[in-house]
Amino acid sequence: MTIRRHHIEVRGISIEVVRKNIKNLHLGVYPPNGRVRVAVPQRLDDDAVRLAVISHLKWIRTQQDRFEKQERQSQREMLTGESHYVEGRRYRLNIIEYDGPNRICLPNNRTLELRIRPGTDRDKREALLYRWYRQRLRAQIPPLITKWETKIGVTVVDWGIRKMKTRWGTCNINDRRIWLNLELAKKPAACLEYILVHEMVHLLERHHNERFQQLMSHFMPHWRLHREELNRAPLAHENWLY
């Protein structure tokens, strides 16, 4: 499949144009900074793309303004009193130094407790937290895959978790392998499930076209609400998009 990418500017807005073997034009505005991307059929020239963008300028600017106002977390220093998110809920971090094995737990619905050895620096504290996030995701994902393999009628051969700066998830269709963003451990459980279903539906339809949206609506009727919830959730210090 031939894909060509370049940028054009329309009324001061940078537009990423992706030409591929599709039938219809698809326009999207993506968090956190309101990046605009247009997927278009090979036959459409840049003038046609500009006209399409101009006709949607009001909507584009509305979406960009919404992302601009979205809550963002500053860089975490891993100190007592900071806010950290677990499955969409905000917790207050409590650091406890003691002579014992490193340990993280949620003693109640308000506190994220990190027990560490004295002298553990910020980076090691953060690494410990992310290992804990990864463990939680690893426990959540297999039953979800089993559930949705039956509903969608596909098989996921392999899956994994990694940090990604540009997507919440990816799908290698040929290998039937799905990767999920580690940051999803911070988001509501419904968001994790939505992203997983999104990637699994790509095993039926490669493109984000009308058929893909119809399949999403068939299997997960409220998927757009989950997408909105994900886009409303506080953004991390780094830029995470979907």
Q: Please tell me the predicted confidence (pLDDT) of residue 234.
A: 55
| 117 and 9 housed in the same domain | no
| 125 and 189 housed in the same domain | yes
Q: Please check whether residue 78 lies inside any domain of the structure.
A: no
| 157 and 218 housed in the same domain | yes
- In this prediction the pTM is 0.72
Cα gap 41→47, rounded to integer Å = 13
Instruction: Inform me whether the pLDDT recorded for 1 exceeds 60.
Output: no
Triad 227, 225, 203: Cα angle to 5°: 50
Q: Please check whether residue 242 lies inside any domain of the structure.
A: no
Q: Please tell me the predicted confidence (pLDDT) of residue 104.
A: 97
Q: Say which residue, 155 or 32, is predicted with more confidence.
A: 155
| 95 and 204 housed in the same domain | yes
Domain that holds residue 145: 83-232
| 105 and 195 housed in the same domain | yes
68, 102, 122: which is the final residue of a domain? 68
Pairing mode of beta strands 13-20, 35-41: parallel
Q: Please check whether residue 75 lies inside any domain of the structure.
A: no
Q: pLDDT tens digits for 74-108? A: 678 999 999 999 999 999 999 999 999 999 999 99
- Whole-number average pLDDT of the chain: 89
| 55 and 120 housed in the same domain | no
| 54 and 144 housed in the same domain | no
| 135 and 199 housed in the same domain | yes
pLDDT band at 57 (very low <50, low <70, confident <90, very high): very high
Average pLDDT over residues 27-43: 85
Instruction: Please name which of 164, 163, 185, 227 lies closest in space to residue 88, comparing C-alpha atoms.
Output: 185
Average pLDDT over residues 225-237: 70
Q: Please check whether residue 237 lies inside any domain of the structure.
A: no
| 157 and 121 housed in the same domain | yes
Give the long-range contacts of residues 29-33, CB within 8 A, separation 24 or more. Answer: 29/59, 29/60, 29/63, 29/64, 29/67, 30/241, 30/242, 31/67, 31/70, 31/231, 31/235, 31/240, 31/241, 31/242, 32/67, 32/70, 32/72, 32/235, 32/239, 32/240, 32/241, 33/67, 33/68, 33/239
- 92 CB neighbour count, 10 Å cutoff: 13
Q: Please tell me the predicted confidence (pLDDT) of residue 241.
A: 36
| 116 and 42 housed in the same domain | no
- State the CATH number of the domain containing residue 200: 3.30.2010.10
How many domains in the chain? 2
